[in-house]
Structure 1
Amino acid sequence: MRSLIALAALPAIAAVPAMAAEVQIPVTNPVVELTVMETVLADPDYATVGAGVTVRASTVSEALKQNAAQMRKVVDKLKSVGVAAKDIQTSNFNLNPQYQYRNDGQAPTFLGYEASNQVTVKLRNMDRIGETLDALANAGATNFFGPNFGLEKDEPAKAAGRKSAFNRAQAQATDYARMAGYTGLRLLEISETYAVSQPMPQSGAIVVTAAKAEDATPIEPGQVGTGVTVTVKFEMTR
């Protein structure tokens, strides 16, 4: 009795309506299915950092006023060094009363209100990341997080990973076919998933101080990985 294998939709026919009939390919020989992941390293083309301002004042209105004025300077500085408005996004805002708690059973002492505002920024000029962080510190930023590096133009890396993953899968399938006494393969199905290069969740603070460009905070981008996972099914043939 013949078994049936579903042919995966290829990118060239990805626009076929979701209700289209699934293509069936009859097979008469054993089928081998392999999943291979390949990670390609490449130089990142952007970095994300978090920059913010935290202030404390005796009243809510004063805390908000001071924070807004200082944060406005930070955002203006970002724009003045060439960061586009679309690459600046508010990621956190907090306003909380602050108390000093005692261990002697006495009531806590009210210290004021603390206002915190933070933006997440995508920096595309990889040569000026440290200089930009220093400029933000000089403009009044008090909190920094990151940087996290990513690859936006990742098609070349994905193409290299795709080719390598498929070649590995085909070579492994060929080995299985030979061990089973078959001489060839017929491709039945191929599918792909990949990990998009993007910033990791922010964690850990960095501390910078204002400096001249030649003494800017050193930032080393290293490389980032783009992962491609290919799943293939081959029918063994004679």
Structure 2
Amino acid sequence: MIRYAFSIAAAAVLMAPITANAQQVEISANGPVIELSVFESVTAEPDLVTIGAGVTSQAKTAVEAMRMNARQMQIVVDRIKALGVPDKDIQTTGINLNAQYDYDRENQRQVFRGYQVSNRVSVKLRDVQATGAVLDALVVAGATDLSGPSFSIEDDTEAKNIARERAIEAAQIRANAYAKLFDYGGIKVLSISETLRNAGPSTRSAGFASIAEDAAPSAPVQPGQVSTGVSLSIKYEMVRSSE
């Protein structure tokens, strides 16, 4: 069940006529102008979860570290695919190679230790309830670094449409209230600008270091709800009679 909540962030009444420009179209106002900023959000259950999985490897040489990491990461990627995740939902987000040093306090100098390679992928899961089991499986496959999960709505078009309708309704009610206070009969829209608020993912750290093969129940994951919405800035002219 979709729930919504809205709040009017700001309102200003300009008691002098103005000229508004939008896409080279000039709109003149003969009466006072009201400018309202309205935000409307809609909450819904997420249907998409994004997690990050990575492998970090260390070796004496850069070549050895890269090769070791490639083998380990391939096992993790193969495991992700075996869980039913298609190629299009698996994306490499970073491969890093860095020299590692230890500090020799006695001689006060850096001592070369070897190389460290990290490789990370971002994975989209469309079965939200399977998130915990997938995280466990990735660690068993050799993943040494997990992040997320990050929950979102894959297609929030309908939710944004609801938020937009509610925002306009709220703005009109407030604008008409201003018009009534100043003894005007109605309002006329002069301009509208919109800012979209994407479905805000709630992010939690997976918080795993290692999991044994025979580990019992998967890590509990609560998807909760996420919100998406629109912010509108609307200018109305107060008129003597409804038009």
Deviates more, 1:66-75 or 1:227-236: 227-236
Residue 82 of structure 1: which of 81, 84, 97 is its match? 84
Report how far residue 204 of structure 1 moved.
5.2
Report what 1:188 is aligned to.
190
Whether the aligned pair in 2 keeps the contact of 1:101 and 1:108 (CA below 8 Å) is yes
Report what 2:106 is aligned to.
104
Report how far residue 187 of structure 1 moved.
2.0
Unaligned regions of 5+ residues in structure 1, if any?
10-21
CA distance 1:214–1:188, change in 2 (3 Å): farther
Report how far residue 211 of structure 1 moved.
6.4
Rounded Cα–Cα distance in structure 2 between residues aligned with 1:91 and 1:172: 46
Does residue 235 of structure 1 match 2:222? no
Rounded Cα–Cα distance in structure 1 between residues aligned with 2:213 and 2:184: 68
Report what 1:221 is aligned to.
223
Rounded Cα–Cα distance in structure 2 between residues aligned with 1:37 and 1:49: 29
Rounded Cα–Cα distance in structure 2 between residues aligned with 1:115 and 1:190: 50
After TM superposition, the runs of 4+ consecutive aligned structure 1 residues lying more than 6 A away are: 211-214
CA distance 1:212–1:220, change in 2 (3 Å): farther
Count of aligned positions = 224
Rounded Cα–Cα distance in structure 1 between residues aligned with 2:215 and 2:222: 15
Q: Secondary structure at the match of 2:104?
A: coil
Report how far residue 79 of structure 1 moved.
0.8
Does residue 138 of structure 1 match 2:140? yes
Q: RMSD of the alignment, in Å?
A: 2.5
Report how far residue 210 of structure 1 moved.
5.1
Deviates more, 1:212-221 or 1:223-232: 212-221
Report what 2:4 is aligned to.
none
Name the structure, 1 or 2, with higher relative contact order (CA <8 Å, separation 6+): 1
Does residue 28 of structure 1 match 2:43? no
Rounded Cα–Cα distance in structure 2 between residues aligned with 1:224 and 1:130: 18
Whether the aligned pair in 2 keeps the contact of 1:188 and 1:235 (CA below 8 Å) is yes
Report what 1:58 is aligned to.
60
Rounded Cα–Cα distance in structure 2 between residues aligned with 1:158 and 1:50: 27
CA distance 1:152–1:173, change in 2 (3 Å): same
Report how far residue 166 of structure 1 moved.
0.9
Report how far residue 188 of structure 1 moved.
2.2
Rounded Cα–Cα distance in structure 2 between residues aligned with 1:71 and 1:141: 8
Residue identity matched to 2:207: I
CA distance 1:40–1:114, change in 2 (3 Å): same
Report what 1:5 is aligned to.
20
Residue 121 of structure 2: which of 97, 100, 119 is its match? 119
Rounded Cα–Cα distance in structure 1 between residues aligned with 2:66 and 2:38: 53
Residue identity matched to 2:233: T
Rounded Cα–Cα distance in structure 2 between residues aligned with 1:46 and 1:212: 28
After superposition, the C-alpha distances for 1:7-49 in whole angstroms (9 at most, x for unaligned) are x57xxxxxxxxxxxx3334432111111101121111111111
Residue 163 of structure 1: which of 146, 162, 165 is its match? 165
Q: TM-score, normalised by structure 2?
A: 0.83
Whether the aligned pair in 2 keeps the contact of 1:79 and 1:85 (CA below 8 Å) is yes
Q: Secondary structure at the match of 1:170?
A: helix
Report how far residue 222 of structure 1 moved.
1.4
After superposition, the C-alpha distances for 1:65-84 in whole angstroms (9 at most, x for unaligned) are 11110100111111111111
